[in-house]
Structure formats: structure tokens, C-alpha cells
Amino acid sequence: MADQETKTSVEQHIQNNIKGETWEVVHYLAMALKADNEGKTEVAYTLRSIAMDEAAHGARFKYLAGEIGDLKDEIEKMLAGEEKAYEGKHEGMKEAEASGQKEVASFFDTAAHDEGRHAAMLRNLLERYC
Ligand SMILES: [Fe+2]
Ligand SMILES: [Fe+2]
């Protein structure tokens, strides 16, 4: 019983850390964008450096939790997600355009293209290596 509780507790700590580190990556990178916009380049650089550490922490916890399966399966799963993300961002762009939010619409468009590019990159990996 004690072993089971310890195991559950460690697993919970790992899951909490995956969530926490994931949130931190995005938050630090958003802070870095703000710093860039304010001309504070060194602040932005430092925040990005921390974000990369947090990303590495989250990735290691996810790996340790055994959440990464067969690489081909993982790539196929991520490809489906990127395709869905492309569609979702395209929808977001149309809604932002319709409500007159030009900057948001423009970024949805840019990000949608990125998702499409990610999908193409993953397809390429599947064709060449998997
Ligand atoms: Fe961390
Ligand atoms: Fe993506």
C-alpha cells in the first residue's frame, strides 16, 4: 500500500510538472515577445533561455512518464494534430477577420502556414525514414 501511494504520488508530481513546465514555456516566450517590443533585447534573450530550460524539463518528465511510444506512431499522431491545427487556425483567422481584429487575423494566418509546414515536414519524415 505504501509503495502504491508513493508511486501514485511520484506520478502525480511528474504530471504536475509536465503541466507546469508546459505553461511556463509559453509564458516565458510571451514575456520575451513583450521585452522585444520594448527594446529590451537582453531581457528577451534571458527569458528565452529560461523557456528552453523549462521545455527540456517538461520533455524529460514526459519521457520519464513513458508517454512517448513508437516513433512512427507518434509522428503519425502529431501529423494528424498539425493538420487539425492548420484547419483550426484557419477558422480562427476567418472569425478574427469577420470581427475586424486584423492583427489577430494576420497572426492566425501566419501560424496556420506554420502548422501546414509542420505537417509537410512530418509527412516527409514518414516517407523517408519510417
Ligand atoms: Fe523547470
Ligand atoms: Fe505545429
pLDDT digit string (tens) for 32-71? 999 999 999 999 999 999 999 999 999 999 999 999 999 9
Q: Which residues neighbour ligand 2 (ion) by CB within 5 Å?
A: 82, 115, 118
Ligand 1 centroid vs 59 CA: distance in angstroms?
10
DSSP reduced 3-state for 69:
coil
Q: How many helices (H) and strands (E) does the chain have?
A: 4, 0
pTM score, whole prediction: 0.88
pLDDT tens-digit map of 73-92: 999 999 999 999 999 999 99
Burial class (CB in 10 A: 0-12, 13-18, 19+), 48: middle
Amino acid identity for residue 70 in this structure: D
Whether the Cβ atoms of residue 75 and residue 125 lie closer than 8 Å to each other: yes
Ligand 1 centroid vs 54 CA: distance in angstroms?
4
DSSP character string of 79-93? HHHHHHHHHHHHHHH
**124: its cell numbers:** 516527409
Ligand 1 centroid vs 4 CA: distance in angstroms?
26
Ligand 1 centroid vs 1 CA: distance in angstroms?
30
Ligand 2 centroid vs 120 CA: distance in angstroms?
10
| Residue 12 pLDDT > 70 | yes
